[in-house]
Amino acid sequence: MQSKHPIGIASLQKLLTRGFVVTLIVLFYSMITNAQSTSSYEIPIDARSVAMGESFVAVAGNVAGLKYNPASLAMIRGVHVLYANRDMNWTSFTEDFRYSSYNVAVQTPVAILGFSYDRLDFGKILLADLNGNTVDAYPYEHTFILGAAHTFDCGLSVGASAKTFHFVNITVRTPSNPEGIDETTLPILFDLGFQHTLPTSESAIHSALNIGASLQNFGSNVRYKDGNGKELGSNQPDRFLRAGLAFNVSVNESEEMLTPFRMTTSLEYRRFLNGYSHGQKDFYGFGIEMTLFDIVDVRGGGFLSNITWVYGEQKKVAYRYGVGVNLPLRKLGATLPVVARFDYAVIPLNERLHDVYFAFDKSKLTVFSIQLSYEEELF
């Protein structure tokens, strides 16, 4: 099976040690590279999409949508900023492992522009050399994404984005690696996506169907090099095809007053176009969100995969759930068109793997997002 993380085991032993024997980190990566990617350019970090089964390829107006489909930016109005944090500390070894995400979307006369910075920090990892001496390593990886989307009069939204990924390991300086740094080069990857909205009802109960699809991560390979610039190998990033539907319903929708009820349901099919062995390329996600009076969100969802991993068991649905609180200031009597939002999601862990690799210290992981939106045009 091809490695599912840009840094494979053999490369990690070169990148992280360069003369040291990797202990715990090799054990950890031997698990994740044979299961599901944990890379920051793949893992969703915002709480809303995580709670809804990571099925957002057709959900419009999502400031964190560059992770799924650049066209999802197209329905955004004004300026939106979002910060998100996702735990990965399901065992004591991964206590300091966590994701963070920073997202900005801005409406312009020509297109909606979006930027995303996602990061996975591993904290301090203790390594041992052949003589039993210990050294500290501080690896991290991060992803930069810049995208744009535009909606045409026919209801078709088209988006494109460019991204780059970077893995950095900071180790003890040695004669062979005086800088104490091993890292990857910066590959250039491109995404292309579309969404199309089909209104189905314009009565007091308004409904609309969104269709979405995207192609992701086409471009150059990731190349690994040591602190002296010596190339250690390369790997092709995961490439995806995503396709899905989102159905939206609202009751007595209003721009000025609180809308009593909204509901969004989402479905997504994801196909790995490289990597994984035959029969392990197809993944499915689904989710539902119900919003009461534009203030309280209740969410649930899940996904079905052909692999067994910490988050779920092979060919069995792995469920998630979450809540959100919104403060639409204008609808609450203020003059500013500002909306503040807090979202929270829970990821139950797969207890089947409890004794396979590590004893879990937790039964679940959590995700939270904070978003601030100014919902009027600035230009």
Domain positions in the chain:
9-374
- Residue-averaged pLDDT of the chain: 82
pLDDT at 253 over 60: yes
SS3 71: helix
Query: Position of tokens 């969104």?
Result: 210
Question: Kind of pairing, strands 222-225 and 181-184?
Answer: antiparallel
| Residues 295/272, Cβ–Cβ less than 8 Å | no
In this prediction, residues 126-130 reach a mean pLDDT of 62
Question: 198 φ, ψ to 5°?
Answer: -120, 100
Is residue 70 within 8 A of residue 146, CB to CB? The reply is no
pLDDT digits (tens, 9 = 90+) for 72-114: 999 899 999 999 999 887 777 777 889 999 999 999 999 999 9
Both tokens assigned to 185? 């080069």
Q: Is 39 helix (H, G, I), strand (E, B) or coil?
A: coil
Cβ 297 vs Cβ 309: under 8 Å: no
Residue with the larger pLDDT of the pair 15 and 148: 148
Prediction pTM value: 0.85
* Residue-by-residue DSSP string for 162-192: EEEEEEEEE---BTTBTT-EEEE----EEEE
DSSP H or E run through 11: helix 9-12
- Residue 122's pLDDT is 85
pLDDT of residue 151: 94
3-state secondary structure of 19: coil
Does the domain made of 9-374 have the CATH classification 2.40.160?
yes
Lowest pLDDT segment from 22-36, 221-235, 303-317: 22-36
Phi, psi of 81 (to 5 degrees): -130, 145
Residue 59 and residue 65 in contact, taking contact as beta carbons nearer than 8 Å: yes
Tell me which of 137 and 10 has the higher pLDDT: 137
